Structure 1
């Protein structure tokens, strides 16, 4: 059998070819597969077959260990290998791929590598060695919703002087965000307090007091984080951040743990290493540093989860952090051949990513090379008057291409959005074209009208102060109470509150709109029809409050039934729209049933509090949800789509301040919820605050642009055959038209211009053609007047 030093005319091991889909590995793949037992990092570009390479690496080491392949090292049997990846889905995929790859090796039963995600592996460390550090085994890990619930208890124990506490979900979000950052970078809350107290005098001397105020806020939030940790200890629970930090503490305090792991495993493979945080990197190094054969696989250009703790620092520093036994830096190997996308798609992606500074890319010259079998691919850019026209055009295009057989499966189409706020027009447009669609994730479902309607009833039942929800229901299509009648009820409520104000008593609660429903006979000048409808709603609300004693999932299902939503869908003449709505409601109820409280039974109030926190959060674009296998168009955020691929991808919303969204996520000079960069483990690659707020903010904006370019790169490289990028002048609530996004301008090619003419259609301006070339000049496309532009004073208002 051929080794890595054999000439190319010799055959590769058949077992390796089988893993690679029956084809020979490329030279760069073979080098990554057949490396000696030493630390090295593989920079694996999008679509480069990294999962196959990882599986082939396991097979290669097994063949050497079994004596079936010559090498200058002893190899490793699969049972002595550890493979770590990021999500449960990725773990499952890697497990199945490796199991299939090993099936032909005639290995003893059970001779398989240990495959886990990073948090699951940390949990194993805690289970095995936790008692050494006084940590009880089997501690329950909090879900995101349970963390919110527990953190709310912190507010009962603290008074906030500097942090705004008017909106509870926002305050809880700030506490949890600082708690996450502290865990990701291994910083104790007490250290945050100490560091900021030491700086207060110096910050007070600055021209602006904003940095001083942010520091005071951070001190309070850090104390809240400390209280949150105390509550977790009291209940004997941990969260995902604790899993890593506690495991790392064990490894550092008790060398025996690392020694036993190094004797248990002979080689380690780390997948998606660019998505790990500083603490996870430190844990792996603490266990498997000092020349241990660790293979890290990742792509700095796909590092898009920085806002939830991932740090590109780990991948950039791997060669220095995991040195060879003789002290030389680890090797870095490329995997730059893309087996997924057409050449024009890759050219567009490369132009987007090449603008990132060299110090943020291990290989600044990296470019994806298209595998000839993938063809040229098609790239198209369009701009529309408003988001509804954009959504309708996308839906129509999907319908036309599917009907023409260009893409025979609905599931080969995906619409990838930077933010879930674009889901509503897309869902309505796709349903209007009778296209089966799946909205992926809770954050996206919360945007849909049918889910908003159900939540309005839930809030009206659970919260007497939910006047907005009451108004939504009463003004909606079910009750159709007129504005005048509603205003008269509100006026009666206001009149009842006047005497209470004159008494100047805090112990007397005000009359609420909900209470006014019990006094309709006292409200004057109501129309007969309006009074009848209000009385009908009052009776239904009373019935629903009685039903609210049932489990939350059952209660919400009852809301759907009682309000006639299901009957309305059954009677709908628009069958596909009705089916789409049913799927969305079923998906929402699945999310509800998956929600479990910290203690006792789930209450409606606890669930609504969690929904409020999700809706109030600035980072709701990612959730660990995978699309189903149903044959339907997938609408999801770009962050959810990482690791997936589709025949045709639409990327809407390319407009300034929407995509790219350059809102600074972390700014410790102005936000108390942001951990001081000086305390972060990746401070070397971050901007430094030197007293000038504006300069620091601009540097942070540049940093956000890098993140947005990576996000755009990920979206483009999901497409196999066709890519369509769209934008509009007007989105939703905007009072001004959106300027064109800066990102598509980066896709202007260096190749000679195409002869394809520019065209303007009734739906928008575009670059197109029978087989559209890589976009010729999207800047002109996004700037032209005419059909694609609204008059300057026009406004598009949609609800």
Structure 2
């Protein structure tokens, strides 16, 4: 465990309230002031939704710089997205410029003496030469450590970072050329996605494929051998389903190991590899942590409830032992559980990041919501009440009830019981149309439970004359025209994509009888192919439910049958849907 040298901090000259008044801002609440003026020790802040955590984090940086406790470049801030990092960085830089302009900067001191002689004249004049804190994402910070110190643990410092698309192509090539049997009835594309997900999960949990295989085998054994209650002899359906899912993951571990080996052979690395390597460096090379602690005297960790096992290992190894780390988060807003994050990381922070004297870190809370009025907060607290009392096993953190800001209005919460999704979309559009005009500067957001609801909502909004756009690529990719285009490309590239082919066929207005004729024709081709001499193929797949599975309908050898061997399947190219259906009907037995 690292050790932090205790130093005598300079006397505080400016309070958080005085700084806010000098910068023309609202004075902080008692909770915000406690966080901003907290001593340079490990600190956990449980911040409810809309409680101004970004504003308060920026205020803490400004307070520390104004009182000479740290220099701006000695502050490290980490968050999850580039957008959040840019927002926090912009707020901090603007405040620091104004701080220099009003002359509230106290020279920072370190163990040897002053770090700066005084305010920078250029900065005092409002220029851009103010020293900037280092604010980045967790992944980019881990990537920098991996690049700079990889040689210390025998890793390749010049490994090239690949995108998600490149990683998918790499795994897909492995899957297509795999020569071992895979006891799964999944399509190659689904197997590729599963391998990528497993590889990422292992990196996030710092597990090797062999270790994960052993854990999964123990879990599967427990599921299979567990005796059902009563006189029932076979396992329950849900238990059997879970056991099959675990067995599929065990079968994919060889592909996961092959994927990792191929990345090493080609000098490649993905984002999960970067974080895992950085955690290994931080744990095995204490000098790296000493260097970073000396470089960054204060560390701010945003959205701490979403940190994974690897990220937690990295941060605790680098900045443990009493270093001034401030973690901000809300367990009720944890969204990355699927990749190893756990809201319990907030509850374990005081023990993981103990103070220099060995005592657990201090915990504060931000409970004043600045976004909503009273009625909305009452509804939100009612909905979130089970989350505050649901956890009974293991450590837990107390989440405060959200309180209204000073001067908050009464607010209004509307609800309705409608017949279907189309009625809901129409009601939302009518609600917004009654409150929005083209000259209004206000905007509104519609939140949906799932992406499939986007088209109906967008159509209803536009029908009501409201301009609307869907954030992210999900809305574009879900539009019918783009879905048809993707289905065409997928079927042209890989005729094994039956889902894409079925979409194209249904868009050609083929009926159920036509599709049955196509099915009969496919079966005839399979029987003919089975009677001919078989050729080996580059991929061997065990098809548990599709004995006549063929990955392409062009004249190339592909797997057919349970043994995973293939024969050419020559399918004459039809001239339009009518000719195709007629050919299938004539060939049907």
TM superposition score category, shorter chain reference: 0.7 to 0.9
> Equivalent residues in 2 for 1:250-269 (5 A)?
250-269=281-300
Corresponding residue to 2:445 among 403, 414, 417? 414
Kept after mapping to 1: 8 A contact 2:153/2:281: yes
Kept after mapping to 1: 8 A contact 2:16/2:63: no
Count of residue correspondences: 502
> Equivalent residues in 2 for 1:64-463 (5 A)?
64-65=67-68, 75-106=69-100, 107-108=119-120, 109-156=129-176, 158=178, 163-197=183-217, 204-207=224-227, 208=235, 210=240, 213-356=244-387, 357=389, 359=391, 362-364=396-398, 366-403=400-437, 408-409=440-441, 412-459=443-490, 461-463=492-494
1:727 corresponds to which residue? none
Q: Secondary structure at the match of 1:381?
A: coil
Q: Distance in 2 between the 1:466 and 1:84 partners?
A: 41
Tell whether 2:574 aligns with 1:516: yes
Q: CA deviation at 1:223?
A: 2.6
1:16 corresponds to which residue? 20
Q: Distance in 1 between the 2:522 and 2:173 partners?
A: 34
Unaligned runs of 5+ in 2: 1-9, 101-118, 121-128, 228-234, 535-565, 584-589
| Closer/same/farther in 2, CA of residues 46 and 205 from structure 1, 3 Å limit | closer
Please give the root-mean-square deviation of Cα atoms over the aligned residues, in Å. Answer: 3.3
| Closer/same/farther in 2, CA of residues 365 and 186 from structure 1, 3 Å limit | closer
When structure 1 is superposed on structure 2, of 330-339 and 486-495 the one drifting more is 486-495
Q: Distance in 2 between the 1:110 and 1:42 partners?
A: 28
| Closer/same/farther in 2, CA of residues 522 and 80 from structure 1, 3 Å limit | closer
Q: Secondary structure at the match of 2:418?
A: strand
Corresponding residue to 2:48 among 39, 45, 48? 45
Q: Distance in 1 between the 2:219 and 2:305 partners?
A: 33
Q: CA deviation at 1:259?
A: 0.9
Q: CA deviation at 1:371?
A: 0.6
1:556 corresponds to which residue? none
Kept after mapping to 2: 8 A contact 1:16/1:60: no
Length-normalised TM-score, structure 2: 0.77
> Equivalent residues in 2 for 1:764-779 (5 A)?
none
Corresponding residue to 2:39 among 36, 41, 54? 36
| Closer/same/farther in 2, CA of residues 317 and 509 from structure 1, 3 Å limit | same
Kept after mapping to 2: 8 A contact 1:141/1:238: yes
Q: Distance in 2 between the 1:303 and 1:124 partners?
A: 26
Kept after mapping to 2: 8 A contact 1:55/1:97: yes
| Closer/same/farther in 2, CA of residues 303 and 5 from structure 1, 3 Å limit | same
Q: CA deviation at 1:172?
A: 2.1
Q: CA deviation at 1:475?
A: 6.3
Kept after mapping to 1: 8 A contact 2:331/2:344: no
Unaligned runs of 5+ in 1: 66-74, 526-799
Q: CA deviation at 1:200?
A: 6.5
> Equivalent residues in 2 for 1:636-785 (5 A)?
none
Q: CA deviation at 1:178?
A: 2.2
Tell whether 2:527 aligns with 1:501: yes
Q: Secondary structure at the match of 1:105?
A: helix
2:551 corresponds to which residue? none
Q: Distance in 2 between the 1:396 and 1:28 partners?
A: 40
